[in-house]
Amino acid sequence: MIRDRIGDSLISTGETVKSGGMLAALGRIYWLMACAGAIVIGVTLPTLLVCWNASTPLTSLILDGGGPISPSIAQVMEDFILVEIIATVGRGPGALCLGLLLYGRLSRRAKEQQTEASALIKRGLFFGMGLAYLNLPGYLAIIFMPSQDHPDIKFAKIMLLFAVSGASCGVWIAWQAYRSAHEGERFLPRFTLSTLMGLVFGWGLLMAVFAPR
């Protein structure tokens, strides 16, 4: 009898530890997905837009001060690799720290207050937009903007880029925070129509503003 009770107790304890380990692993997956989104949406996509917008191949501009010409696709890709390394080193740590800060705040809210997905996503959208402006190294992207643009135009483009990419990061991070409190949710976020239209309009506007001339 005692042996059976000890056996049952050990099995119960093992299942609890196993369950806890699985939950911990799932929790890590959600915040890792939040970090990945912060890098891809907050660093990689803006870098690609800046390189696409440049009227001078950045590799030529940096290495030998090349003049304004129309960059080829190969040159744009060379620029992208170079500037992506610079942006990841300079802006990546800030994006990760701000992303984890937002994820922690939203995940606690999702678990403690049982906030609905749409409300949490909207909260992430606005917080993400605001936090994006705190990643100060990102402002150095203005160096790579077309030289013929007025400084005010360059700054306005950067502000718009921060707003749209930050809002998109916030939406993605909010969804990962929601998934951490609601197991079994699908991979893609559940957008409301207004949020979806806002993001589509924002990225469409960025594509128009950053289109090469």
Segment 70-112, tens digit of pLDDT: 556 666 677 778 888 888 898 899 999 999 999 999 999 988 8
Q: Does residue 68 sit within a domain?
A: yes
The residue range of the domain holding 54 is 29-209
Q: Does residue 139 sit within a domain?
A: yes
3-state secondary structure the chain: CHHHHHHHHHHHHHHHHHHHHHHHHHHHHHHHHHHHHHHHHHHHHHHHHHHHHCCCCHHHHHHHCCCCCCCCHHHHHHHHHHHHHHHHHHHHHHHHHHHHHHHHHHHHHHHHCCCCHHHHHHHHHHHHHHHHCCCHHHHHHHHHCCCCCCHHHHHHHHHHHHHHHHHHHHHHHHHHHHHHHCCCCCCCCCCCHHHHHHHHHHHHHHHHHCCCC
Number of domains in the chain: 1
Segment 192-202, tens digit of pLDDT: 899 999 999 99
Average pLDDT over residues 116-138: 93
Q: Does residue 124 sit within a domain?
A: yes
Residue 60: is its pLDDT beyond 90?
no
Q: Does residue 13 sit within a domain?
A: no
pTM score: 0.78
Q: Does residue 53 sit within a domain?
A: yes
